[in-house]
Amino acid sequence: MTRTRLTAACLALLMTSVSGHAIAQQQPNTADVIAPAALPRAVPPIPAPTSASYPGVITLNVDASDVDRGLMNVTQTIPVSAGSVTLLYPKFLPGNHAPTGPISMLTGLTITANGQPLQWLRDPVDPWAFHLEVPQGATQLDVAFTALTPTGEGQGRRLQTPEMLNLQWEKALLYPAGYNAKGIAVVPSVKLPVGWRYGVALETASFDNDLARFAQTDLYTLVDSPMFAGINFREIALGGGDQPVRATVVADKPIQLEGGDARVDQMEALVVQADRLFGGERHFDHYTFLVGVTDTLGDVGLEHHRSSENTVATGYFTGEGKVPYGDLAVIPHEYVHSWNGKFRRPADQMFPNYNVPTTNSLLWVYEGQTQYWGDVLTARSGFVSKEEALAVLAGVAASYQNQAGRQWRPLQDTTNTPILGYRAPNPYPTFARGTDYYRESGLIWLDADTLIRAETRGRKSLDDFAKRFFGVEAEGWLPQGYTFEDVVAALNAVHPHDWATFLRTRLDAVNAPPFLDGLERGGYRLAYVDTPSDAEKKINSTWENDFQYSLGFSLAGPTNRITGVRWGGLAFEQGLGAGWELVAVNDMAASPKALRDAVTTAKGGSEPIRLILKNGERFRTVALPYHEGLRYPRLERIEGSRDYLGDILAPRRR
């Protein structure tokens, strides 16, 4: 398919859902009724996006060389004609599922035409929009602003350090309202610090004197193609033949890029195992893992069609220090998203541009099934052992077995969480619930997988669903939407079952026991032990401070601060909340070990565990009547059952 035909097809698809129903358009605001006396002039409505292509090509130049001060200086030329124009700063960011565009970080905005400054007017209802009047005779706008990036605590995720940067184009541009992102042509460039190299999914036109120029693309592809750049740089080929997959890695220090043959083998295995899972031809011409080995750049794991943004621990390649499970699983998770979330995505997220509100009703597929396959591929690729993968599952199962929030809030409602407060901290997450559409949904997909395997005696599995649903052939890279009905139909095509009821029962349940059937059907049951295994300690690296399933809290920091108080747990029932510090245990100086010893000693006895706690200038003594010992989750084999979990986690041979 030619680029012209592809763009036209994408425009049509992104304006309409797969079921043929028109997607909700950006609604005109009511700001035009504001009295002119309140503002310099009347505010026009924001144009809704249409399928027409934007006339002309926008140039975008980002100077990202001022990494010491965390500044990105942006200039743009935007072709226009006389009349009212509205420019938008991206608001609803892909992969965030929320209005997270950091508009407050856009500063110093100036717009000129024919060398004359124009007075822009921010929309009072939607402050991501800027209105202006283009004078007669003007053919382009010259836009300049500075995009600030966080430099300290509490400002947001850090995007620039003296050694590396993460350029996310949507944070450094304005675009005209009234158009589909696929219909807006852009020629981008970026100025880097001296001697830096970069990784990006865009096609490089030239790279001279630290200035990277890229071939013309569309706004949709640009926003979907972030950059990692740095002074300490490594590129790793991971196979893929005519559709190559590679990793471009930047690091805080050169030594952090050295070695790592075993890790590279795992990344190569990931590419192979994903091919075997999803089957069919890859739906990209190339793919790049953008990897930051760092403890200074802000943490990220974000999906894109032809790349992903990932930060990992500084010992990721060298093997020095602990690499948390999340850092091992992030690259498999985001790679799965290229199939689920980018190539195929919920129909109610097929929106035409970045200022139309998002809808998240199918995040339990978009994120939940990606969570499932990400964990599975993490094991199949050798990033973790089978024992470690089972430890992950045990931790997830235990958290939902003990989660009070399931008493009032169904899993389906948690898909609204990004809009309610994107990654907002909560003092009682076990009751409020949050992004459970990741992990609890993963248990649903495990349940479905083991059900198919058990009822077909191992002849079919959820792998067959993945190949049928995500491995479909596509013309070009056209994104394809899916609905609840599409998911049900694809499951039934693999193995007939009342999948609609199966899913809705689990999604809409309130005050029901956790759905752990997938574990027992898979050959395991959830149990609790007083001493975790080495694999369990590796996965739960804070196990020494973890009293979640005994006393109902965790300890943190040198002051033994009480955190993660579990709603309905023993500590909670004794009136304790976050913020207290543990001073003494049974009249001895407090420490995690002292508390573990006290819990162990009290097992089977009758004497309470006495705690002295401090909160500011207040002290308190609490006697906890607990006698069941330490409790850490574990999956135990059910004797005589088939080990379907072992089958799921084992590498595929074809």
Mean pLDDT for all residues in the chain:
93
Helix or strand or coil: residue 415?
helix
Statement: residue 32 has pLDDT above 80: no
pLDDT at 22: 34
pLDDT at 425: 84
75 vs 62: CA distance, rounded Å: 7
Average pLDDT over residues 247-271: 97
Residue 530's Cβ-side half-sphere holds a number of Cα atoms within 13 Å equal to 12
pLDDT at 34: 56
Burial class, 640, CB count within 10 angstroms (exposed 0-12 / middle 13-18 / buried 19+): exposed
Q: Which of 315, 172, 335 is nearest to 252 (CA)?
A: 315
Q: What is the 3-state secondary structure (H, E, C) of 589-647?
A: ECCHHHHHHHHHHHCCCCCCEEEEEEECCEEEEEEECCCCCCCEEEEEECCCCCCHHHH
- Run of H or E including 325: helix 325-337
542 vs 326: CA distance, rounded Å: 14
- 425-447 per-position pLDDT tens digit: 889 999 999 999 999 999 999 99
Statement: residue 27 has pLDDT above 80: no
367 vs 65: CA distance, rounded Å: 35
473 vs 610: CA distance, rounded Å: 64
Cα separations in angstroms, 555 against 64, 461, 530: 41, 41, 17
Statement: residue 355 has pLDDT above 50: yes
Statement: residue 599 has pLDDT above 70: yes
Statement: residue 19 has pLDDT above 60: no
Q: Which residues contact 530 (CB under 8 A, 6 or more apart)?
A: 600, 603, 629, 630, 631, 632
Confidence of residue 579 (pLDDT cuts 50, 70, 90): confident
218 vs 224: CA distance, rounded Å: 10
Q: Which residues of 26-61 are buried (b: 16+ CB within 10 A; e: fewer)?
A: beebebeeeeeeeeeeebbbbbbbeeebbebebbbb
Helix or strand or coil: residue 200?
strand
- 366-419 per-position pLDDT tens digit: 999 999 999 999 999 999 999 999 999 999 999 999 999 999 999 999 999 999
Statement: residue 99 has pLDDT above 50: yes
Statement: residue 577 has pLDDT above 60: yes
CA 10 to chain centre: 24
Judge contact between 143 and 154, C-beta under 8 A: no
601 vs 408: CA distance, rounded Å: 36
Burial class, 594, CB count within 10 angstroms (exposed 0-12 / middle 13-18 / buried 19+): middle
- 337-349 per-position pLDDT tens digit: 999 999 999 999 9
Average pLDDT over residues 462-468: 97
Average pLDDT over residues 51-55: 95
Whether the pTM exceeds 0.85: the reply is yes
Written as six digits, the tokens of 125 are 């209802």
Q: Which residues contact 422 (CB under 8 A, 6 or more apart)?
A: 96, 97, 98, 99, 100
Percent of the residues in the chain that have a pLDDT greater than 90, as a whole number = 89
Average pLDDT over residues 255-283: 94
- 179-194 per-position pLDDT tens digit: 999 999 999 999 999 9
- 302-342 per-position pLDDT tens digit: 999 999 999 999 999 999 989 999 999 999 999 999 999 99
Written as six digits, the tokens of 344 are 């195929």
Judge contact between 581 and 614, C-beta under 8 A: yes
- 532-544 per-position pLDDT tens digit: 999 999 999 999 9
297 vs 312: CA distance, rounded Å: 10
> DSSP E strands: which ranges in 238-333?
245-251, 287-293, 301-303, 307-312
In the chain, the amino acid numbered 281 is E
Statement: residue 301 has pLDDT above 60: yes
The torsion defined by the Cα of 422, 297, 374 and 633, in degrees rounded to 10, comes to -80
pLDDT at 30: 45
Judge contact between 333 and 371, C-beta under 8 A: yes
- 141-168 per-position pLDDT tens digit: 999 999 999 999 889 999 999 999 999 9
Confidence of residue 37 (pLDDT cuts 50, 70, 90): low
- Do β-strands 211-214 and 185-191 pair in parallel, antiparallel, or remain unpaired? antiparallel
pLDDT at 36: 61
Residue 508 phi, psi (nearest 5)? -105, 0
Statement: residue 17 has pLDDT above 70: no
Statement: residue 607 has pLDDT above 60: yes
pLDDT at 635: 98
Statement: residue 491 has pLDDT above 90: yes
CA 501 to chain centre: 28
pLDDT at 13: 36
Cα separations in angstroms, 334 against 138, 208, 289, 305, 634: 44, 31, 9, 10, 27
Judge contact between 249 and 264, C-beta under 8 A: no
172 vs 108: CA distance, rounded Å: 13
507 vs 509: CA distance, rounded Å: 6
User: For the chain, first and last CA: distance in Å?
Assistant: 30
DSSP state letter for 232: S
